[in-house]
Amino acid sequence: MERRRPQIAPSPPVSRRKAAAAASQEWLVVPAAGEQRAGEFGRHRIMEMTGLPARDLRMLDPLLSYPSTILGRDRAIVVNLEHVRAIVTAAEVLVRDPSNPRLRPFLQELHARLALPVRPHPPPFRQSCILLDGGDDQGNVPISGSAKIPPFEFKVLEVCLEHTSKCMETETSVLESEAYPALDELTTKVSTSNLDDVRQIKNRLVQLSGRVQKVRDDIEHLLDDDTDMCEMYLTRKLAFQGVNNESSVNVDSNKHAFPDHDHDHEKEEEDRGGDTASSHGSSACVKHVEELEMLLEAYFVEFDGTLNKLCHLRDYVDNTENYINLMLDKKQNQLLQMGVMLTTATVVVTAGIVVVSLFGMNIHIELMADPETPEMARIKNMKFWETTWGTVAGCAAIYLLAIYAGKKSKYLQ
């Protein structure tokens, strides 16, 4: 009998598993009013809720390393600042990967800011009247001595910028506390371990400087473009969209009530109403651009200050490296001088060896002859020492002359 092999169910393809993982993403939805909810939403569901294209959602994927950026879209603001990845709308904020432990301080601060009392929004027609009376399009009439409540998206954006600024400031402080002692120790003792510590610190410094620079440049780009800042005011868009819808409904009702009215006069009234709404919208946009500009300028100053600290630390690292290079060059010059002196001494000793070699030849001279009397032995001994000390003195004189000539020609110091 033939044995039947157990059949194993085929595993799904890798592409299908990746697609299934990408279809469901973990999000935390924090509304402006009400309770938050957490769950897994598909990409298409997020696109329907926020009106964002798929390329913007890819920037919020934790598995992909995209640089920090802030983008203003038609219905939402995309915030990608370090580990804070969120989508801000006029009514709620969607936070990506809420289980990340690094997001706990951010979520706590976000809940604390959104727990502040907010005035109820009036209907769209009332908002248009408030705009005509000098109020804002949130329904907040300016009252003397009272602070104006910022829109929901501005409060969330402020929390994102503040949390990112604190994180980068903390990393900068930790890096400074580690870098300055390590650099000072390196100046006193140049060793392999100290050099390795400074190398790691420099790598961290370069990475942190690049991250801070990117956020600073994004804020500067927003400050230079009023259109982008105007697009980020989502509450104004909803308010004037409601005003336009209500005005269109009123125009339709007037048409049905007065069918014999002149069509040209109706068109003129519509154009006049549209021009009035657009003028009020542009004035409100300019006013809130100034508010957003003040908010961005405050955090631009903070990020710029953090970047200045990192630049000072980088200058300190560069100065330390230059000092170490000067020390090493000095040591190298000293070693070269010592080598020159030893080489000169070797040449001088070689001259003495030549003299000894000459006397070691097998030749008949009076100094090498056997003494016949004690007086001749004494004279022979005296001549031997005279020759020996004369050779040593001659070698020393040649050495001193060589050193003097080197110092006079500035080859030696």
Residues 377-400 have pLDDT tens digits of 777 777 778 878 888 888 888 888
Which of 6-20, 95-109, 328-342 comes out lowest in average pLDDT? 6-20
**Mean per-residue pLDDT, 298-306:** 94
Number of residues that make up the chain: 413
Of 10 and 324, the one with more pLDDT: 324
Alpha helices in 136-262 (DSSP H): 152-188, 192-224, 226-231, 234-257
**Mean per-residue pLDDT, 365-373:** 64
What's the pLDDT score for residue 237?
74
What's the pTM value of the predicted model, to 2 decimals?
0.67
What's the pLDDT score for residue 251?
43
Neighbours of 237 (CB within 10 A): 18
- Do the Cβ atoms of 36 and 29 come closer than 8 Å? yes
First to last CA, the chain: 99
What's the pLDDT score for residue 285?
61
- Do the Cβ atoms of 151 and 90 come closer than 8 Å? yes
Please state, in angstroms and rounded to a whole number, the distance separating the CA atoms of residues 349 and 351. Answer: 5
Among residues of the chain, what percentage have pLDDT more than 90?
Answer: 25
* Helix, strand, coil percent content, the chain, rounded in steps of 5: 70, 10, 25
pLDDT of 260 higher than 70: no
What's the pLDDT score for residue 193?
92
The chain-wide mean pLDDT, for the chain, equals: 76
- The single-letter DSSP state of residue 65 is -
Please state, in angstroms and rounded to a whole number, the distance separating the CA atoms of residues 28 and 108. Answer: 13
pLDDT of 145 higher than 90: no
